[in-house]
Amino acid sequence: MDLLNTLVEKGLRRELPTREEALAVLATSDDELLEVVAAAGKVRRQWFGRRVKLNYLVNLKSGLCPEDCSYCSQRLGSKAEILKYTWLKPDEASQAAAAGVAGGAKRVCLVASGRGPTDRDVERVGKTIEAIKEQNEGVEVCACLGLLSDGQAERLREAGADAYNHNLNTSEATYGDITKTHTYADRVDTVQKAHAAGLSACSGLIAGMGESDEDLVDVVYALRELDSDSVPVNFLIPFEGTPLAKEWNLTPQRCLRILAMVRFVCPDVEVRIAGGREVHLRSMQPLALHIANSIFLGDYLTSEGQAGQADLDMIADAGFEVEGAGTTTLPKHRADALAAAGAAGGCGSEASAGCGSEASAGCGSPTEEAGGCGPCGGHAAPSAAPARTSDEARTDLVAVRRRGAGTDLAPNA
Enumerate the active-site residues: 65, 69, 72, 109, 142, 202, 272
How far is C-alpha 134 from the chain's CA centre?
26
Other Cβ atoms within 10 Å of 316 Cβ, number = 12
Using DSSP's 3-state secondary structure scheme, residue 284 falls into helix
Task: Let me know: does 239 contact 83? Beta carbons within 8 Å.
Answer: no
Nearest residue to 246 (alpha-carbon basis) of 237, 233, 256: 237
Task: Report the chain's terminal Cα–Cα distance, integer Å.
Answer: 41
Instruction: Report DSSP letters for 214-277, one per residue.
Output: HHHHHHHHHHHHTT-SEEEEEE----TTSTTTT-----HHHHHHHHHHHHHHSTTSEEEE-TTH
Task: Please state, in angstroms and rounded to a whole number, the distance separating the CA atoms of residues 169 and 126.
Answer: 26
Contacts of 183 by beta carbon, 8 Å cutoff, 6+ apart = 175, 176
Task: Please state, in angstroms and rounded to a whole number, the distance separating the CA atoms of residues 54 and 232.
Answer: 12
Using DSSP's 3-state secondary structure scheme, residue 97 falls into helix
Q: How many helices (H) and strands (E) does the chain have?
A: 14, 10
